[in-house]
Structure 1
Amino acid sequence: MKFKIDTKEKIVVFCPEEVALDANLSDDFITTATTLPELNGRNLILDMTLVEKTDEKGVEAILTVYQYMYDNKLSCALTGLNNTLTAALKEAGDDMLNIAPTMAEAIDLIMMEELERELLEGME
């Protein structure tokens, strides 16, 4: 799978460079996105700008990566989704997904959740 990553202080932006995220690429997508060495302790933004279509396995792969992040007490946001991908994810997932129309808004969502976690940890 071809992809581009951009590592920031608290965030890794993962951008698949594939037109279709389907059953053929779903396992590779999960493995690649969840084992990035840069991800260690950082939140994840999935920039799906170049992905034009997906199938059921592709949607499952996106949701698996998303859930993986939260299972590890980190955040995830999706950006760059076309209308078809947005509808498919909302149907398969739930309305609690962090879907942002722009990269700046995705970063804001991640940083707000990060701040929330820090504040909650400080209260314990």
Structure 2
Amino acid sequence: MKFKIDTKEKIVVFRPEAAVLDANLSDDFIATATQLPELTGRNLILDLTLIEKTDAVGVEAILTVYQKMYDNNFSCALTGLNNTLTAELKSASGEMLNIAPTMAEAIDLVMMEELERELLDGLE
């Protein structure tokens, strides 16, 4: 799977360059997105602008990457979703997802959660 990575101070933006995220690409997507060396100590934004179509396995792959970030005490946000993908993710997740219509809003969401964690860690 081809992808682009943009590394910022506390964020990695990961953008798959494929029109379809299905069962054929889902394992590669999960492995690549969760094992990026740039991701160490950083939050993740999944920019899914180029994904036009997905299947149930592809949706599950996105949710797996999303959950792995939170399991490791980092944040994740999704941006660039079309209406169909947004609906599929919302119906499959059963929980709240950080879905932002723009990259700037995705960055804001992730940075607010980062600040929240820092403040809560300071109180303990």
TM-score range, shorter chain: over 0.9
Match of 2:61 in 1: 61
Q: CA RMSD in A?
A: 0.5
Q: Which amino acid aligns with 2:123?
A: M
Q: Which amino acid aligns with 1:84?
A: T
Q: Which amino acid aligns with 1:72?
A: N
Q: Which amino acid aligns with 1:25?
A: L
Match status 1:105 vs 2:101: no
Residue 70 of structure 1: how far off its partner (Å): 0.1
Cα distance between partner residues in 2 of 1:96 and 1:19: 25
Residue 94 of structure 1: how far off its partner (Å): 2.8
Match of 2:33 in 1: 33
Instruction: Structure 2 unaligned segments of length 5 or more: list them.
Output: none
How many residue pairs get matched? 124
Alignment of 1:69-84 (within 5 A): 69-84=69-84
Residue 19 of structure 1: how far off its partner (Å): 0.2
Cα distance between partner residues in 1 of 2:14 and 2:104: 15
Residue 95 of structure 1: how far off its partner (Å): 4.4
Instruction: Structure 1 unaligned segments of length 5 or more: list them.
Output: none
1:34-92 deviation digits (Å, cap 9, x = unpaired) = 00000001000000000000000000000000000000000000000000000000000
Cα distance between partner residues in 1 of 2:56 and 2:2: 20
Superposition misfits of 4+ residues, deviation over 2 angstroms: none
Cα distance between partner residues in 2 of 1:21 and 1:13: 17
Q: Which amino acid aligns with 2:49?
A: T
Q: Which amino acid aligns with 1:92?
A: A
Cα distance between partner residues in 1 of 2:41 and 2:55: 30
Match of 2:86 in 1: 86
